[in-house]
Amino acid sequence: MPSLRHVVIVGAGRAGASAAAALRAEGFDGSIRLVGDESLPPYERPPLSKAVLAGTAAAGAQQVLAPDFYREQHVELLLGQAASAVDLSARCVELAGGARLSYDHLILATGARARRLPPDLDPERRALALRDAADATRLAAALASPRCRHVIVVGGGVIGLEVAAAARAAGRAVTVVEAGPRIMGRVLPAALAPLLKQEHERHGVRILEAVHPRRLTVREAATSTVDADVAPVRLDLGDGSAIVGDLVVAGIGAVPQTALAQAAGLHCDDGILVDEFGATSDPAVSAVGDAARFLHPTFGRALRVESWQHAQRHAAAVARHIAGQREPGQREPYVDVPWMWSEQFGLELQAAGLLDDGDESVVRTSADGSVTTVFALRGGALRGVAALGPDGKIGRDVRVAQLMMERGVKVAAAALADPDVRMKSLMSSAPPAAPNRDAVA
């Protein structure tokens, strides 16, 4: 394999930083340049929709790596600089300022951006998005404004519901407008969504499902420059009704940032396409994290995962391949089962695997009724799990289910449904199922 001396990483988020850390941990001693278009060193996004909106943390304060890491490990951070082009044949990244960075290997960790409401629906661009530290600071200030009485949240996904919970905690009236048939359609199985909806309604959130926003109109211009995002607005809906509020937040999905890769000629399709080792259609370029769509050997299909744990683990696994420069036969594919969590009103939600990948759904309710877990099984093997319950009470069983998926353990539906059967005891109760590798070959 050609020698590797210069690595450039584009995207200084969790995945980009984790790739840099893993390269050094693997013993790579060449140059690493980490390019980010945000001005802050890599920071964690989960607090942006939780502690930052609750006013208990500053946006961007929680860094992915210790602040000294970059100096001590000789990782050059190029912040506030967007990569504008990649020349695959010259192995060179061009920055918007004109600088050119040569590489032996390039890692694209460009993440995702918030999808915005279309201009014909929101001609004055009133709806706030939440993706980065600046968005979170702006939204936290708007929520804190005494003129903010009613928050309209467009989209009942993770962002929408975490924002709804934060806005209720701040004492604001909240209406969530979800276009799909139920909230959290991307993440939650049908059996859990109503329970989460009930919890929101119990806390005073109004949730409208299967309703399409049609037009957002500003009824009065903001009078204050301090909280200019807070002003009377009206959202007309497809069913002919309308909602009047003071602040609109849109959480209508994330779009992978593929423009750079696409313009360079790398294969993309709702994400930068990579194999199970993170390699793109050019072997000198890898892609990781939210931006990448990768082949998953266990599930036998290409996945794009938008989650905090995956961003770190995927980037670390791919960086180890790059630094190790292993021959194809010696390489281990990335097989982590995707996992995410959310917190809303003191309830914790966790999901792992693929909930839409089963031919059988099993519900387990804890003896005290406080925890509901839904499993997706295919051919008797676990493919997905999601659990909702009080903080601290759901993690262990989800972790066991995740291990069962990783090991391909087959399990009886009746035992899974029975809360008196300990999940851990099911780990060894059946022979492993063969992983579905057909689609990967």
Residue 352 CA to residue 387 CA, distance in Å, equals 9
Cα–Cα distance, 144 to 157 (Å, whole number): 22
Q: Is 46 in the site for ligand FAD (CB under 6 A)?
A: yes
Q: Which does 83 bind (CB under 5 to 8 A by kind): ligand NAI, ligand FAD, none?
A: ligand FAD
**385 touches ligand FAD by CB under 6 A:** no
The residue from 75, 184, 260, 319 that contacts ligand FAD (CB under 6 A) is: 260
Burial environment of residue 176 by CB neighbours within 10 A (0 to 12, 13 to 18, 19 or more):
buried
Find which of ligand NAI, ligand FAD, none residue 252 binds, CB within 5 to 8 Å per kind. ligand NAI
Residue 112 makes CB contacts below 8 A (sequence gap 6+) with 131, 254, 255, 256, 257, 290, 291, 306
- In single-letter form, the type of residue at position 276 comes to E
Stretch of 14-22, 97-105, 173-181, 316-324 contacting ligand FAD, by CB under 6 A: 14-22
**Interaction of residue 154 with ligand NAI, rule CB under 6 A:** yes
Q: Of these partners, ligand FAD, ligand NAI, none, which one is at the site of residue 257 (CB under 5 to 8 Å by kind)? A: ligand FAD
Other CB atoms within a 10 A radius of the CB of residue 310 amount to 25
Q: Are 132 and 140 in contact (CB under 8 A)?
A: no
Q: Contact between 398 and ligand FAD (CB under 6 A)?
A: no
**In the range 117-156, which residues lie near ligand FAD by CB under 6 A?**
130-131
Provide the H-helix boundaries in 27-114.
51-54, 69-72
DSSP H/E element including 217: strand 213-218
Instruction: Candidates 112, 196, 317, 374: give the one binding ligand FAD (CB under 6 A).
Output: 112
How many whole angstroms separate alpha carbon 314 and alpha carbon 335?
9
Assign 156 to helix, strand or coil: coil
* Residue 38 touches which of ligand NAI, ligand FAD, none (Cβ within 5-8 Å per kind): ligand FAD
CB of 341 to ligand NAI, least distance (A): 6
Q: Which of 8, 9, 16, 402: binder of ligand FAD (CB under 6 A)?
A: 16
Q: Which stretch binds ligand NAI (CB under 6 A): 13-21, 173-181, 228-236, 355-363?
A: 173-181
Q: Per CB under 6 A, does 257 bind ligand FAD?
A: yes
Q: Tell whether residue 180 is a contact of ligand NAI (CB under 6 A).
A: yes
CB-nearer residue toward ligand NAI: 51 or 78:
51
As a whole number of Å, the CA-based R_g of the chain is 23
Site membership for ligand NAI, residue 156 (CB under 6 A): yes
Q: Closest CB to ligand FAD among 229 and 290? A: 290
Please count the residues of this chain forming the interface with ligand NAI, following the rule CB under 6 A.
26
Cα–Cα nearest to 140, from 50, 13, 80 = 50
> Judged by CB, which is closer to ligand NAI: 81, or 307?
307
Nearest Cα residue to 156 out of 293, 342, 340, 363: 342
d(CA 144, CA 172): 9
Of 166, 158, 340, which Cα lies nearest the Cα of 251? 158
